[in-house]
Every structure is written in structure tokens, then in C-alpha cells.
């Protein structure tokens, strides 16, 4: 971390960013860093590679952002939150690479040895990147932040731990949640903003995806998908997939889930989840994605059809499951 701290301290104009379709943890970590850097007297700008997950738009009121339009603003340093690979910034990542701008990754995802970052603030044991951002703020000597930053950190933590119900909700995560509540975070308000603002078409969209549910390996693997045409026919929407993933993962026999959604713009996105054994980060990597052991994702190029994406996802999960069974058998013999 020390190299990253020195880079931040020696930079005056800092650009913040994060992965494509920024989620609660990405935006939350950015917000913490935005307010911490502002308190240090830095010039700070947040630029996202594309529009974020709409559920977290309320964070923009206190952490304003712009969208990448092909041109990077002049800055001394780029700090990317909740992102382990530069290509997860899409075309903005290409522009960053071409610029030669020093760049720091603040993240809790696994990072390859040839990562290409100038410096890292990296902790795979952290429940959320938002918690790492709080530690960075403290290391920078910023021990007091506005309530909006603590709210953003809470959103980061809660959304990445499923409101403290996922396997990454360890003792440190619970302690951090308690600390943020002590600082004045209104948990009921934030839960309402994140989880109680679904659009009218969401339940219909969920039903559309469940129409296409398939089980493999005696129910251990579940794959579902939705098309834009079917959503339009039913009047459904499916911008957020967490509800469906939770429904599928709640089935007793299911170990891992893949949900493919066809997005406006002609590309398909897949979200993976697993319960205990299958490392879906490794599964996602086989199709160009990544993430965590229990939650990961990937996006397909526009030329990949929905049918092809569904086939690739099912095969990736089956291959991963087969490899995991072999590994388990070998471990049992050892």
C-alpha cells in the first residue's frame, strides 16, 4: 500500500474510476476516496466508463460523476476502484493505457502477477473494496469523513455481502458495519434506497427468466436466461439480476448458477453465483470474465448470440463442476 499512498500524496489532480456498469461496491469505494481526497485539498474528478447500475444513482448527489466520451481529462494519477484489470474499463481502459498515466488499483478481487498497474491497494480478504477505501483514507491521515462517505461505504459493504448473509461476511465485515452505524448511518434508509425501489416490470422480468430455467448434474447446476424480445412482449424489465440469482441459489440441490441476460445494445451479460465449492471466478475467466469465488460475471461481444452465450455459460459451468469433482476426489484420496 505504501507505494500507492506516496503516489496519492504527491499527486494534485486525481481521476477516480471503476469497472463497467459500476455497482454498489465500486461506487461506494469511489465515494469514500472522493471525500477523503477532497479533504486533503486534492482536485478530484470521477469518470465512469459507462452508466452505472441505476439502483445506486442516489450516490451521485454527493459524489458527482461524468461518463467517458472518448477523451480523458488531464490528471496526475488515476485511481480505479473495485477493478483488477484495466480492460474492465472497456474503451476507457484503452485510452488509459495509451496515455501512460500512472494508475492505482484499489480492489479485493484476485489480481494477476502481470497486472500492469503502477501500484496496488489490494486485499482479497476484504469483504468489499469500500472497506479498503476507508483504510486508505486513514493511511492518508483522513480520520473523519462526511456522513455521505460513511453511507457510501455501508452501501459498498452491504451490497457485496448480501446484507451480511454471504460467505464473505466475516467478523471484520460485521465490525465494520457496526462502526458505520455508530457514525450515524441510517441503515433503514439505505436498504430502502437500494432494495425497495424496483420498477413495476421487475417481477415480470424475473418470471421471463425463470421460463428458461434449466438444471444440469442432478440439479447441482442451474442456468436461466432472458431475451429482450420476451421482456418487451411481457412488459418486463431485468436491469438487476440479484433477485433471480438468490431464488436459484436458494434451491437445496443447487451449487452454482449462471444467469444470462440480453442487454439493450445487442450484447449478453452473465452473472455467476455459487454456494460452497465451485469457484465461479475461475469459471468466468474461461469466457473472459472474472470476480470472486462465489460471485463473478462476464460480458460477451455483440456478435455472440443469446443462444450461443447460453451454451457457452452452461458448458463453462459443467466443465468447472467436473474439474471440481475431480479435485475433491483427489483430495479425498490424499
Dump pLDDT digits (tens) for 19-46.
Answer: 998 999 999 999 999 999 999 999 999 9
Please give the pLDDT value at position 331: 73
Architecture per CATH, domain 202-333, reads as Roll (3.10)
Domain-wise residue ranges, the chain: 2-195, 202-333
Dump pLDDT digits (tens) for 285-324.
Answer: 999 988 888 999 999 999 999 999 999 999 999 999 999 8
Nearest to 131 by CA among 229, 9, 24: 24
Please give the pLDDT value at position 25: 97
pTM of the model: 0.87
245 pLDDT tier (thresholds 50, 70, 90)? very high
Over range 51-68, report the average pLDDT.
Answer: 94
Task: Answer whether residue 327 shows pLDDT above 80.
Answer: no
Percent of the chain with pLDDT over 90: 82
Which residues contact residue 270 at a Cβ distance below 8 angstroms, ignoring those fewer than 6 apart? 258, 259, 260, 261, 284, 287, 289, 297, 298, 299, 300, 309, 313
Task: Answer whether residue 273 shows pLDDT above 80.
Answer: yes
Dump pLDDT digits (tens) for 224-237.
Answer: 999 999 999 999 99
Higher pLDDT, 1 or 180: 180
Please give the pLDDT value at position 291: 84
Where in the chain does DSSP place strands (E)?
A: 13-18, 43-48, 65-67, 77-81, 103-107, 119-122, 214-216, 221-226, 256-263, 267-274, 290-291, 295-299
Task: Answer whether residue 178 shows pLDDT above 60.
Answer: yes
Task: Answer whether residue 81 shows pLDDT above 60.
Answer: yes
Over range 262-289, report the average pLDDT.
Answer: 91
Mean pLDDT check: name the lowest of 7-16, 23-32, 84-93.
84-93
* Residues 255/278, Cβ–Cβ less than 8 Å: yes
Task: Answer whether residue 109 shows pLDDT above 70.
Answer: yes
333 pLDDT tier (thresholds 50, 70, 90)? low
Does 202-333 match 2-195 at the fold level? Answer: no
Q: What is the mean pLDDT of the chain?
A: 94
334 pLDDT tier (thresholds 50, 70, 90)? low
Q: Which residues pair with 261 in a beta bridge?
A: 226, 269
Over range 177-192, report the average pLDDT.
Answer: 98
Q: In what order do the strands lie in the sheet with 13-18?
A: 65-67, 43-48, 13-18, 77-81, 103-107, 119-122
CATH class of 2-195: alpha beta
Dump pLDDT digits (tens) for 119-176.
Answer: 999 999 999 999 999 999 999 999 999 999 999 999 999 999 999 998 899 999 999 9
Task: Answer whether residue 328 shows pLDDT above 90.
Answer: no
Amino acid at each position: 500500500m505504501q507505494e500507492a499512498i506516496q503516489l496519492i500524496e504527491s499527486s494534485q489532480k486525481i481521476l477516480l474510476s471503476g469497472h463497467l456498469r459500476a455497482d454498489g461496491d465500486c461506487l461506494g469505494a469511489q465515494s469514500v476516496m472522493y471525500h477523503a481526497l477532497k479533504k486533503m485539498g486534492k482536485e478530484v474528478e470521477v469518470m465512469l466508463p459507462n452508466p452505472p447500475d441505476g439502483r445506486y444513482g442516489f450516490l451521485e448527489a454527493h459524489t458527482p460523476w461524468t461518463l467517458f466520451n472518448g477523451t480523458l481529462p488531464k490528471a496526475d494519477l488515476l485511481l480505479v476502484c473495485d477493478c483488477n484489470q484495466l480492460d474492465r474499463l472497456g474503451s476507457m481502459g484503452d485510452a488509459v493505457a495509451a496515455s501512460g498515466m500512472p494508475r492505482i488499483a484499489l480492489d479485493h478481487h484476485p489480481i494477476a502477477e502481470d497486472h500492469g498497474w503502477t501500484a496496488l491497494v489490494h486485499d482479497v480478504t476484504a469483504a468489499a473494496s469500500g472497506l479498503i477505501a476507508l483504510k486508505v483514507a486513514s493511511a492518508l491521515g483522513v480520520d473523519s469523513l462526511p456522513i455521505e462517505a460513511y453511507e457510501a461505504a455501508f452501501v459498498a459493504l452491504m451490497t457485496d455481502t448480501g446484507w451480511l448473509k454471504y460467505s464473505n461476511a466475516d467478523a471484520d465485515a460485521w465490525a465494520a458495519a457496526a462502526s458505520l452505524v455508530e457514525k450515524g448511518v441510517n441503515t433503514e434508509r439505505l436498504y430502502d434506497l437500494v432494495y425497495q425501489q424496483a420498477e413495476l416490470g421487475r417481477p415480470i422480468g424475473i418470471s421471463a427468466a425463470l421460463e428458461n430455467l434449466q438444471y444440469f448434474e442432478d440439479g447441482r447446476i442451474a442456468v436461466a436466461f432472458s431475451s429482450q424480445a420476451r421482456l418487451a412482449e411481457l412488459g418486463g424489465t431485468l436491469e438487476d439480476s440479484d433477485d433471480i440469482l438468490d431464488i436459484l441459489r436458494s434451491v437445496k440441490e443447487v451449487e452454482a448458477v449462471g444467469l444470462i441476460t440480453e442487454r439493450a445494445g445487442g450484447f449478453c451479460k452473465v452473472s455467476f453465483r455459487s454456494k460452497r465449492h465451485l469457484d465461479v471466478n475461475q469459471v468466468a475467466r474461461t469466457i473472459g470474465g472474472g470476480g470472486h469465488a462465489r460471485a463473478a460475471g462476464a460480458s460477451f461481444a455483440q456478435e455472440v448470440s443469446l443462444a450461443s452465450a447460453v451454451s457457452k455459460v452452461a458448458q463453462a459451468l459443467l466443465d468447472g463442476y467436473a474439474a471440481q469433482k475431480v479435485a475433491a476426489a483427489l483430495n479425498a484420496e490424499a
